[in-house]
Every structure is written in structure tokens, then in C-alpha cells.
Structure 1
């Protein structure tokens, strides 16, 4: 049986190897071009590196100084460290407030003491300037007594007692020997029905002042007893 299919032209078969050859040649040329371009870039970089002048000692020193003076960035604190720092700050502030309160109390106390001393000085000055009225009573110093204690016993100031006894030094008094002039309101002789409350009302002084002046610990009197009535 005969084959009626059309055979391929001979020219088309002969063109295929030619096209393949051209493609290969083009690839080789492209590879050569890429290699040449790469070599050219390397040469340029080498020339740039070789042409860069070396750094002088001054430049190196300046760079070192810049590194030293460059600000150091602190690392952020952790949460626990921040809390500890905050707690420490709170404690310090509380301690400062406590110290401030104590200082204010001390200053206030000093002011009060200074005020009392000033008032006492004024009282003593008035007492010194204005002579005390009343009866003069001679007191003999007894064991355990002091100049200031005797003044308190008879309810007069130390300055007034010193005015009444200008020749006697407070620190030089002697038991049983030194005699002090003391101003009192009166010397009362106890009569019938003269209990301390009644006597105090009569002279316008407190019962306790009469007991202190006469060194009494109990509210008792005896007929004929001499009671010292201190100044009110």
C-alpha cells in the first residue's frame, strides 16, 4: 500500500540546527559580557580602596574622643526595680515629714517656754518694783530647804524674797542659822471653830496655800496655834 502523507520539506529540517547554534553563540556572548562587567566593577572598587588616604593620628584621636563623649543610653529599668525605687522614695518623703513635724513641735515648745519665761520675768519685775504689802515674818532656814523652795512655800517670787533679803545670797543659806524676812498676809491665832476652810474664807486665800505655808498634810488645827496666812 502506498503512503499518501506529505513528507516534511528538507529545508525545514536543515534550519533547526542553525537556530540552535545561534542561540548557543548568543548565550556565550552574554556570559562573556557579564564576566567582563564583573571584572570591571572589581577593578574600580580596588582603585577606590587604594586611592583612599590612610587616617591620621589626629583623626583617630578625634574618633576616640567622640566615642568617649558619646552619651550612654541607659537601659530601661525593670518593673520590680521601678517599684522598689518608688517605695524607697515614699519612705524618704514620710521620714522627712516626720522630722519636719518633730522640728515644728520642738520649735513650738521652745516658743511656749520663752513666753513663760518672759511672763515670769515681767511678774518678778513688777514684784520688785512694787513692794509687797502685808506682815513681815522671819523664817529660819530648816533642813532640806532652798531659797527658791522657801519663796514657793510662802507664795512669793524669788525676786521678791531676794528684795526682802538683799544681803543674803541664795546659794549661801545655812540650816538653823540663816534667817529670811518673808512677807505674809497675816499671822492668825486659831480660836474656837477655826477650821482651815473657815480661816481661808476669812482671809480670801485657798485652804491649800495655808496648808503649804504651815507644812500641813491634814486638815487639822489646834486652839492657840499660830497659822501663817500667805499672800494670795
Structure 2
């Protein structure tokens, strides 16, 4: 016969676990640690900002920054430009003087009366100069130039010069060059030279130029 009261089965005792409590504590600790770290970080940043704002600005730097910046080398550059211009002017002045044409030498005018004798007109021939013409008539080059002070250059067949000679003799009967030369106190060669003769010969009615015996 079965028992009236059935036997109670063995009930497995419930085991209590502490794991949830430990986990919760760890989480709480972590949260507190994070809050602490965050607070420290915030406090440090605020203190740094206060230090930065509390830094005293150096007045000397402000004065330096406030002063207008001036370009000191500018006066030196200006002086350099002035010196360069002065050098240019001194260099240009000799150049201008070199470009200038030499002034013509004024020939002192000589009057025919001061030389004396008679005046003739000589037409310049090819190759003749003031010097050669003066030698032909036994005159000084300065005398010929002075009598023709307005003439600066002689041109063949164009230029006509005023010449002073002792006399102009018209050849008559028996007037050979030697006789005429003795009459005026000059040499026969001087008469031939003045008249451009290569031979000792003269024709009746010919006008002979008689040069001065002494060079004038």
C-alpha cells in the first residue's frame, strides 16, 4: 500500500550569486572615475584660460607696435639719387662742351690804306690757299686774311680776294721785265711770280702787277 502522504522530493537549494552586485559596483566606480576625470579636465582648462587672460600685456610691446613704421633707408636712397644726378650733370657738361663747335677765330680786319699801294682783285685758282696767294704777291698770310676778313674759305673759280700791290704798270715801248723791275726797285723774278709768268717776256700794252719789294 502506498503511503498516504507522498514523500517530498529533494529540492535543490538555490544558490545566491554576487555577480550582479559586483558588476553594478564596477559600473558605479567607473562612472565616478569618469566624472572625476572630467571635472579635473574642466578645472584645468578653466584655470589655463584664466592664466592666459590674466597675463599682463607688456606696455613696451604696445608702444613698439603702436609707433608708425618709418623707412629709415629712404633718406639714404634720396641722397644716393642726388649724388647720381650730380654725377650725371658733371659727366654731361664735358660732353656738351665737346659737342660745341669750335668758335671761329675772328680775323683782324686790315684796311687797304694801312698797307698802301693799289688794290687788285685776285680770282682763286685750283690748289691755291691764303698762304700761297700771299707768297705770290709778296704779302704776309695775315695781311691777305685781314684784307678779306669776311672770307673764311677759298674756292677755286668762285672766291675773289682783294690784294694790295705796289703798282700796276702798263708795258710801253722798250719795257722789258728787267727795266720795269729796276724802275720799281723789285726783282725780275718777283714780277714774273706776281704775274704768273714762266718766261722773261712782256707784250706792249700788257698790265704788269708790281709787288712790294718788302713783305707786308
More helix by share: 1
Computing the radius of gyration from Cα coordinates, the structure with the larger value is 2
TM-score with structure 2 length normalisation? 0.46
TM-score with structure 1 length normalisation? 0.43
